Amino acid sequence: MATDTGLERPDRPAAAPAFQPLSTGRKLKDNLATVLVCLAFLVAVVPLVWVVVTVVGRGIGAIVSADWWGRSLSGVLPESFAGGVYHAIYGTLIQALIAGVIAVPIGILAAVYLVEYGRGRLAKTTSFMVDILAGVPSIVAALFIFAAFISILGAQQSAFMVSLALVLLMLPVVIRNTEEMLRLVPDELREASYALGIPKWKTILRIVLPTALSGTVTGIMLALARVMGETAPVLVLVGYSQSINFDPFSGNMASLPLLMFSELSNPEPAGQFRIWGAALTLILIIMILQLGASVVSRFSAISK
Amino acid sequence: MAKRLDLKAVDIYYGDFHAVQDVNLSVAPRSVTSFIGPSGCGKSTVLRTLNRMHEEIPGARVDGEVLLDGEDIYDRGSDAVAVRRTIGMVFQRPNPFPTMSIRDNVVAGLKLQGVHDKKKLDEVCEASLRGANLWKEVSGRLDKPGGGLSGGQQQRLCIARAIAVAPDVLLMDEPCSALDPISTLAIEDLIADLKKEYTIVIVTHNMQQAARVSDQTAFFNLEATGKPGKLVEIDDTSTIFSNPTEQATEDYISGRFG
Ligand SMILES: Nc1ncnc2c1ncn2[C@@H]1O[C@H](COP(=O)(O)OP(=O)(O)OP(=O)(O)O)[C@@H](O)[C@H]1O
Ligand SMILES: [Mg+2]
């Protein structure tokens, strides 16, 4: 700085210039690293783009027709390019919805217990169980529901059984995510509330949960999106139906993964056509959920 | 309204750690008492036992008696929630509720205690904000989030929130440590005002502040790390700062410490 001000600084030795040009060796390494990183990025992105392009390219033809969204495959011959998949869309949505209705309250309550009340043995055990549950493959969850409800309790195969299996898959995701969000709420807010003479349960309900709300909702939407594509439970726990069935508690019910699976055995081009259409539809639904999730978290970011 | 506080042979623990030993002191109604002392000597710990906030920490416990107008707040029959309604607290870092507007922050205590009369809430909101010297600055934007205020305003918002539930005693843990001199002054003026109605206990690291705002000053000290903190001396502020009984107090105040 001495030269800047023009002042002599006799107490300091004249320093070498602080910034020396990069040596060629370092430049080379730098470039090499950049190239490697870009290559890795491409390797990761190419298959993704490929999948999207393929699915959109082959599926778009199916989903642009109005029938696709408004009719079922009831009475449609395997080789005919007709009918729609609204029965399967309904199935996918209702199964995920029922799973959510069961899993979300249980998951949130469990997370509240773990974060706000859990001390000692029971909390540790619960936490451990959640970890185990998170590692359970979907086929095992489906078989468990089959064994417990259908073999032992004598229930019939139905969409509701699928929902129960989805609950098992959703629960650990919801619990872990909500737990994380609750832990992000600073203790100072809890103390501020206690200091006003507000009881603990009310503090949790009115201060802690609203503060953690957006993150929790985002997590729930992502969990829902994830279970919508699960195939093992629908293969094991419900029969396929070509026509609409509104009753989740009895009878066969289609869903998008199940429809794709059953059309796989259709050798006609129309089968392929429907599979790609259903794939694209599923991706669209999941994308809408994820967009919704990011909108929710965006909105709450503003209110901060 | 304002009540007196008496501590008798109070010992405070964090699990096995004996944090503060044998505190005896009295706080008169409508007065300001400040706690001073080196970091880690247990000022916050003592303050937090006064409204039973201490017990929120796992393993923490308190021995001895803390009397509010003669009633032991640690009595088996007394309820921590009721105690905290009577003894409010302002924290070192401003902590408005981030999901609430300024108005909702101020009346949060009342609302969550079940008061829903809109007119009453609005009245309390205005009175508390005026009491906290913040009304003029925020009256036009009561519906904006509380987190959008400056640090000093947020701290005064927290004071408004604390007085909105009309406590008898107000505890403040270094309420100015995150504030600039002007906001600090505003809060000190506020303390002088609040003294007319409340019993106030304040922790501060700022000697001048203790000298300016308090009637009575308590000096806490710590013999060595790992040993419990102790109340060395408590007396009128003027006596503590001009003519303390204990050598340790004089050393600390004059900066000849450690
Ligand atoms: N949650 C806790 N768990 C265990 N020990 C604690 C906890 N909080 C404080 N302590 C210990 O209690 C002692 C007193 O701490 P306290 O926070 O009361 O000090 P202080 O006088 O307020 O200090 P400062 O001026 O730095 O705020 C310290 O030794 C501290 O390490
Ligand atoms: Mg402290």
Give the pLDDT of residue A159.
Answer: 94
Give the pLDDT of residue A1.
Answer: 41
Q: From the candidates A119, A196, A206, which should be mutated to test the interface with B, based on the most B CB atoms within 10 A?
A: A196
SS3 B134: coil
Q: How far apart are CA A279 and CA A256, in angstroms?
A: 7
- B42 in contact with ligand 1, CB cutoff 6 A: yes
* Signed CA dihedral, A164, A166, A169, A171: sign only: negative
- B40 in contact with ligand 1, CB cutoff 6 A: yes
Flag whether residue A301 sits within 8 Å of chain B, measured between CB atoms. Answer: no
Give the pLDDT of residue A3.
Answer: 47
- Compute mean pLDDT per 10 residues along chain A, 304 residues long, and list them: 50 66 85 94 93 93 89 88 92 96 96 90 91 94 95 92 96 95 93 93 93 90 91 94 92 94 92 94 92 81 48
Give the pLDDT of residue A17.
Answer: 66
Q: Which stretch of DSSP H or E encloses residue B81? A: helix B80-86
A119: nearest CA in chain B?
A: B58
A187: nearest CA in chain B?
A: B95
Report the relative pairing of strands B169-173 and B229-236 from DSSP bridges.
Answer: unpaired
Q: What is the pLDDT of residues B211-245, one digit of tens each?
A: 999 999 999 998 888 889 999 999 999 999 998 99
Report DSSP letters for B214-235, one per residue.
-SEEEEEEESSTTSPEEEEEEE
User: Residues near A170 by Cβ (< 8 Å), separated by ≥ 6?
Assistant: A99, A100, A103, A104, A107, A223, A224, A226, A227
Give the pLDDT of residue A7.
Answer: 53
Report the relative pairing of strands B229-236 and B17-27 from DSSP bridges.
Answer: parallel
| Domain ranges for chain A | 1-64, 86-298
Q: For a pLDDT cut of 70, what percent of chain B falls above it?
A: 98
Q: How far apart are CA B86 and CA B165, in angstroms?
A: 8
Give the pLDDT of residue A65.
Answer: 87
Q: What is the pLDDT of residues B84-140, one digit of tens each?
A: 999 999 998 999 999 899 999 999 999 998 888 999 999 999 999 988 888 999 999
SS3 B199: strand
CA of B89 to the centre of ligand 2 (A): 13
Among A243, A238, A236, A98, which Cα is nearest to A157's? A238
Closest residue by Cα to atom 28, ligand 1, is B40
- B257 in contact with ligand 1, CB cutoff 6 A: no
Q: What is the pLDDT of residues B167-202, one digit of tens each?
A: 999 999 998 887 788 888 888 988 998 899 899 999
Give the pLDDT of residue A296.
Answer: 82
Nearest atom in ligand 1 to B46's CA: 18
Q: CA-CA distances (angstroms) from residue B175 to A187, A194, B28, B129, B203? A: 17, 18, 21, 17, 8
Q: CA-CA distances (angstroms) from residue A45 to A40, A286, A294? A: 9, 19, 21
- B165 in contact with ligand 1, CB cutoff 6 A: no
Q: How far does Cα A47 stand from its chain's mean position?
A: 20
Q: CA-CA distances (angstroms) from residue B89 to A9, B39, B47, B163? A: 54, 20, 9, 9
The widest CA-to-CA distance across chain A, in whole angstroms, is 97
Q: How far apart are CA B126 and CA B122, in angstroms?
A: 6
ipTM above 0.85, yes or no: yes
With CB atoms and an 8 Å threshold, state whether A196 touches B81.
Answer: no
Q: How far apart are CA A110 and CA A102, in angstroms?
A: 13
- Phi, psi (degrees; rounded to nearest 5) at B208: -60, -40
B58 vs A contacts (CB less than 8 Å): 119
Q: Indicate the DSSP class of residue A176.
A: H
Residue B68 CB-density burial (10 A; 0-12 exposed, 13-18 middle, 19+ buried): buried
Kindly state the average pLDDT of the residues B22-49.
94
CATH 1.10.3720.10 fits A86-298, yes or no: yes
Q: Which protein residues have a CB closer than 5 Å to ligand 2 (ion)?
A: B 44
A197 vs B contacts (CB less than 8 Å): 81-86, 109, 113, 165
Give the pLDDT of residue A15.
Answer: 63
Q: Which stretch of DSSP H or E encloses residue B116? A: none
Nearest atom in ligand 1 to B48's CA: 18
Q: How far apart are CA A214 and CA B211, in angstroms?
A: 46
CA of A300 to the centre of ligand 1 (A): 35
A191 vs B contacts (CB less than 8 Å): 53, 56, 89, 91, 95
With CB atoms and an 8 Å threshold, state whether A195 touches B88.
Answer: yes
Among A86, A91, A59, which Cα is nearest to A73's? A86
Give the pLDDT of residue B255.
Answer: 79
